[in-house]
Amino acid sequence: MLKLSQFSVVHNLAERGLATHNLVFNTRTSKSLVVTSEVWETLVASFGAPAEARAELRAPIERLVELGIAVRDDTDERAAYGAGFDAQRFHPKQVFPIFAVTTACNIGCTYCYEAGVLGKTMTPKVIDGIARWVEERMVVDGIRTIVPLLFGGEPLLYPKLLYVLMDRVNEVVARYGGFCQYTASSNGMRMTDELAAALAQRGLVQIQISLDGPKCVHDERRIGKRGEPSFDQALRGIRSAATAIRTVTVKVNFDRHNRGAIAQLFDDLVAEGLAGRIKVKLEAVAFQAPDSKTVHPRDVVIPPESEEMANAYTELILEAKARGIAVERDTAHTTPCMMSSHHGVAIGPDGSIVKCISLVGRSEFAVGNVLDTAQYDSESYASQMNVLKRLDECFEERCPYVPVCAGGCTYESVVRTGRYDLRFCTKPNLRLFHFQRQLMRHEKELVALGMRPLAAREVSAT
């Protein structure tokens, strides 16, 4: 006997003018298919005795099992998911640590989540600790690929520090026959052709630089410490980065304030001749911590659990693609994340280790320090890694979105409750966005069948 997997979603396409067809996908396997409603009903009716199904149905039924859309009736999907999730997260083949070299910054974004954090910069002792952390991952854990993210504050404030850090880590990785390359996140204002070349020479293969809209909008949100604009310098930084760094990503932080202006930003990037040279990553602005020194109006933050959030991501993805601008694959993906991944850590400028990029500089959430002999505090580390306990309600509700959620964003829970161990459910957003994502994936096939295509203007007002 078979049953429909808990992680399978079935959408009839009547709302899109194609009631004769269903769109079926599984969030654990990421597999999907388009099938007529009539055939689907016949297949599901055969689940009770698949061996007795008509001959022409047996291959399609086997295909559903291969895709994970259907599973054996006695399958404990929670246990199977947990075992697979743990196997993947506790035994990573590569790690992506974040090295926050400083919490100082040369601009004051209105929505910055580090605005309540003291400015500190990494010392040689902390670099020694990071080198030891990398060595332990290679010797103790057998990891051979290290892909650090250079982060801040603003990491390009201290290029010589970056050189020392990168050279030191590269030396450790080379000593053990491993592979290392870097990514970075910057406001781009200090980037030059020479700096881009020096960083690329040391293994920087990707950098993301933020633009929050056309100049008039960007300069309302990402402003200098004295209120000066930053758009022109950031754009120059993007051009310089593109001279030497393999992948340049324009990160667009969006909310209700700038959502409607981002299509104009994409037009500007096309006019600059950058459409084929850069990618775009879209990221929704989140609430700030209660102690933030700057206060971004909460009423412009799109609720992460809302259908409005799904529509915003879909609209902006469609606007980018319509202009030939590639969108990063991890756009709209927030969890599972480093919080649930073994050695998925952010190391701050003082050596403190946290499990969330948005908690850099917040010692109350630290799980260790690279300056300590043990580095990890085993109790607090294990507690924050125990994310499966957050999923009780999710499995009781038979939520199909567990694999693309894993209990939701820890940071969103922290800023609302002060706790990292409570789930943050975003099901309305996930339900709509993953449906829209599959519509985009199968658009050519579905439109040929008579479906009304998904258009940016359709979702722009919601």
pLDDT of residue 412: 96
Structural domains of the chain sorted by starting position, each given as residue range(s) with its CATH number in brackets: 2-75+428-459 (no CATH), 93-347 (3.20.20.70)
The pLDDT value recorded for residue 113 is: 85
Predicted TM-score (pTM) of this structure: 0.96
Confidence at residue 225, expressed as pLDDT on a 0 to 100 scale: 83
Q: Give the contacts of 335 (CB within 8 A, at least 6 positions apart).
A: 404, 405, 406, 407, 408, 409, 410
Apex 380 CA angle, 376 and 385, nearest 5: 90
Q: Is the peptide bond before 336 cis (omega within 30 degrees of 0)?
A: yes
Count of CB atoms situated within 10 Å of the CB of 358? 20
pLDDT of residue 110: 92
Question: In this predicted structure, what is the pLDDT of residue 208?
Answer: 98
DSSP codes of every residue in 231-279: HHHHHHHHHHHTTT-SEEEEEEEE-TTTGGGHHHHHHHHHHTT-TTTEE
User: What is the spatial distance between Cα 347 and Cα 360, in angstroms, rounded to a whole number?
Assistant: 8
CA distance 155 to 199: 12
What distances in angstroms separate CA 425 from CA 80, 393, 400, 405, 428, one per listed residue? 22, 10, 12, 8, 9
Strands 8-13 and 247-254: unpaired
Q: pLDDT truncated to tens, each residue of the chain (462 aa)? A: 999 999 999 999 999 999 999 999 999 999 999 999 999 999 999 999 999 999 999 999 999 999 999 999 999 999 999 999 999 999 999 999 999 999 999 999 999 988 778 889 999 999 999 999 999 999 999 999 999 999 999 999 999 999 999 999 999 999 999 999 999 999 999 999 999 999 999 999 999 999 999 999 999 999 988 889 999 999 999 999 999 999 999 999 999 999 999 999 999 999 999 999 999 999 999 999 888 877 799 999 999 999 999 999 999 999 999 999 999 999 998 899 999 999 999 999 999 999 999 999 999 999 999 999 999 999 999 999 998 889 999 999 999 999 999 999 999 999 999 999 999 999 999 999 999 999 999 999 999 999 999 999 999 977
Whole-number Å distance between alpha carbons of 368 and 418: 19
What pLDDT was estimated at residue 119? 86
Contacts of 110 (CB under 8 A, 6+ apart): 220, 221, 222, 223, 294, 296
Please give the Cα distance from 282 to 321 (Å, whole number).
13
Find the farthest-apart pair of alpha carbons in the chain and give their distance in angstroms, rounded: 75
Which residue is associated with the tokens 């260790």?
A: 368
Distance (Å, whole) CA 243 – CA 193: 7
Query: Given the structure tokens 């529509």, which residue do they identify?
Result: 311
